[in-house]
Amino acid sequence: MAFRFANVSGRAALVDRDGRWYDLDKLSGGAVPADPMAAIAEAAALHRLDEQLASSEPDGQLAEASLGAPIPRPRNAFGVGLNYRPHAEEANMELPERPLVFGKFSSCIVGPTDDVELRSETADWEVELVVAIGTAGRDIPADSAWDHVLGLTIGQDISDRRLQFAAKPPHFDLGKSRDTYGPMGPVLVSTDSFADPTDLAISCQINGEPKQADRTTSLIFSVAELIEYLSGIVTLDVGDVIFTGTPAGVGAASQTYLAPGDVITSTIEGIGTMSNTCV
Ligand code: ZN
């Protein structure tokens, strides 16, 4: 069965269709570890345990829970730049012939309700579909790439534009890795939950005002192509994540940036909504 996975107060949990969460260690009688990074390695158990939710006692409501990132400590977190054509155009940059990949240092990852701590006046929003690897692999062909995906979640690839372009050539990695610049969540949704995981509406609002809206079918390099490309270079491990790129409508295009008090609302069809406040 398809599952929705969450990190509640640092412990792995499953979430039912009514937004109630169940502690996985308790639900599984200790078979699935409480640590979310260890729990995601038990994909078969997560699928099986989802069927038991209807006959189990929930531990709380997700809306009232203290949520961490569903994948709080990925070994590797990849980012992909300029992966939606209109965004490459608004950035006045050439369309990449190969995926433009940078590391998003995993120390920047925070939960779906955490604050984004602004450290400059050029911080920008970037809603992104985040892919979590569930089965490790190397040299994975595109046509079997989805078999290696555990699930999908929402990410914000918050980018300090001045820092990103402070060096020549630009160091995307540092500009996108300040502490708290990688919110993720609220839940990781198993791939089999989606009628078509390659075609999802994705959007971002700032203080309720629509800024970004597209569909993931607009990706220049698809999820499968990204996995083939990356796994030809780096062995992908369980819990590695890929921020797959952002649609048009970032602040840099109009020179408007995030300010303290701004609320970033990120939504992806079939996953949910994540809301982070800038401080
Ligand atoms: Zn990005």
Q: What is the pLDDT of residues 218-269, one digit of tens each?
A: 999 999 999 999 999 999 999 999 999 999 999 999 999 999 999 999 999 9
Residue 46 and residue 3 in contact, taking contact as beta carbons nearer than 8 Å? yes
Burial zone of 86 (CB within 10 Å; 0-12 exposed, 13-18 middle, 19+ buried): middle
For 231-246, b where at least 16 C-beta lie within 10 A, e where not — what string? beeeebebbbbbbbbb
Gap from CA of 128 to ligand 1 centroid (Å): 7
71 inside domain: no
Q: Indicate the pairing of strand 100-103 with strand 182-190.
A: unpaired
72 inside domain: no
Same domain, 122 and 238: yes
70 inside domain: no
Domain interval for residue 136: 77-277
Gap from CA of 102 to ligand 1 centroid (Å): 9
SS3 32: coil
Alpha-carbon distance of 153 to 238, in angstroms, equals 15
Q: What is the pLDDT of residues 104-123, one digit of tens each?
A: 999 999 999 999 999 999 99
SS3 232: coil
Same domain, 29 and 96: no
* Token digits of residue 107: 């120390």
Alpha-carbon distance of 200 to 209, in angstroms, equals 20
DSSP 41: T
Which amino acid is it at 27?
Answer: L
Gap from CA of 81 to ligand 1 centroid (Å): 5
Same domain, 128 and 190: yes
Q: What are the residues whose beta carbons fall under 8 Å from the beta carbon of 44, sequence distance 6 or more?
A: none
Distances (CA, A) of 166 to 87, 117, 174: 21, 20, 10
Gap from CA of 245 to ligand 1 centroid (Å): 5
Gap from CA of 244 to ligand 1 centroid (Å): 7
Same domain, 45 and 159: no
Q: What are the residues whose beta carbons fall under 8 Å from the beta carbon of 23, sequence distance 6 or more?
A: 8, 11, 12, 13, 34, 59
Gap from CA of 22 to ligand 1 centroid (Å): 32
pLDDT at 94: 86
Gap from CA of 162 to ligand 1 centroid (Å): 15
Q: Per residue of the chain (279 residues), what is the pLDDT tens digit?
A: 899 999 999 999 999 999 999 999 999 999 999 999 999 999 999 999 999 999 999 999 999 999 999 999 999 999 999 999 899 888 888 888 999 999 999 999 999 999 999 999 999 999 999 999 999 999 999 999 999 999 999 999 999 999 999 999 999 999 999 999 999 999 999 999 999 999 999 999 999 999 999 999 999 999 999 999 999 999 999 999 999 999 999 999 999 999 999 999 999 999 999 999 999
Same domain, 231 and 206: yes
Question: Per the confidence metrics, is the pTM higher than 0.85?
Answer: yes
pLDDT at 1: 80
Alpha-carbon distance of 116 to 99, in angstroms, equals 27
